[in-house]
Structure 1
Amino acid sequence: MKVLGIVFSPRRNGNTEIIVREALEGAKEAGAETELITIRDYKINPCDGCGTCHKTGVCHINDDMQIMYKKLLEADGIIFGT
């Protein structure tokens, strides 16, 4: 089992990140493979509403969200820290 923790707070090592790290540690102790992602380290642009993703299944915006899609699909569980 793979559990992905995603921190949306801009504060490095803030309360949100601490809580997500603790939750991931619990998952690891239970036998899960874990990964922590901090959104502040990724370049993700907003959707422009063009509809390309509905037509082709792929977003035309070339940013780090493509990396995130892959990680989200590979995860069995996701912990969001906001």
Structure 2
Amino acid sequence: MTRILAINGSPRKRGNTETVLDAFLRGAESAGAEISKITLVDIDHKNCRGCNACHKKGVCILTDDLTPIFEEVMSSDILVLASPIYSMTVTAEMKSFIDRGQFLWAQKFVTKTLSFSPEHLANHIGVYLGTSGQDILHIFDGAFPVVCAFFNDAGFSYTENVLFPGMDQHGGVKGWPESVAKAESEGRRIAGLLNSS
């Protein structure tokens, strides 16, 4: 069974991002996937200190509620990073999570203790699910390289974006039910990419 882990980076409970994310997960579950969601605002954790201790042994010296979540990430088949656009990129919550993943980068490029085969990458999919208030050209461009960096370090092929620009003009998901339908359809489709392989 395909295991999907969703990391919700929105600080707003039951807002636009969480609503379409939940729809995505419903669609994935209907396609036979095992789903799990973590909301970062509920997690008690510290920010990366930039101490570079992980460059020595590839291990983060911080231990908190975020520590076991990275184990869940590495045991998932599909990883969904969900974040609205705040100040032209992902939220502070999502950025803090990604920064804490620096130890994975250290394992890959410094200690050389982590690598991913082409077969692994072909069977591990990274998905960015994004929402934005504005509907302007390149609104998500600041988020793409941030999530891409984490997917690369954690061994996921970043192949999928599920994007919902212009939430303001629609009045959010309540005024844009098509966004929920699209999210559910995309969840079903993306879960099927591995279930059918």
Percent of paired sites with the same residue: 38
Amino acid corresponding to residue 27 of structure 2 in structure 1: G
The number of aligned residues is 82
Amino acid corresponding to residue 72 of structure 2 in structure 1: K
**Separation (CA, whole Å) in 2 of partners of 1:73 and 1:34:** 14
Instruction: Name the structure with the higher helix share.
Output: 2
Report the equivalent of 1:7: 8
Report the equivalent of 2:63: 62
Report the TM-score, using the length of structure 1 for normalisation: 0.91
Paired residue secondary structure (2:80):
strand
Amino acid corresponding to residue 19 of structure 2 in structure 1: I
Report how far residue 45 of structure 1 moved: 1.3
Report how far residue 71 of structure 1 moved: 1.1
- Map residues 1-82 of structure 1 onto 2, 5 A cutoff: 1-82=2-83
Amino acid corresponding to residue 76 of structure 1 in structure 2: D
**Separation (CA, whole Å) in 2 of partners of 1:18 and 1:53:** 36
Report how far residue 58 of structure 1 moved: 1.2
Report how far residue 44 of structure 1 moved: 2.2
Report how far residue 72 of structure 1 moved: 0.6
Structure with higher Rg: it is: 2
**Separation (CA, whole Å) in 2 of partners of 1:56 and 1:15:** 40
Report how far residue 78 of structure 1 moved: 1.1
Larger RCO of the pair (alpha carbons < 8 Å, separation 6+): 1
Paired residue secondary structure (1:79):
strand
Report how far residue 10 of structure 1 moved: 0.9
Paired residue secondary structure (1:59):
coil
**Separation (CA, whole Å) in 2 of partners of 1:11 and 1:68:** 20
Report how far residue 64 of structure 1 moved: 1.9
**Separation (CA, whole Å) in 2 of partners of 1:20 and 1:54:** 34
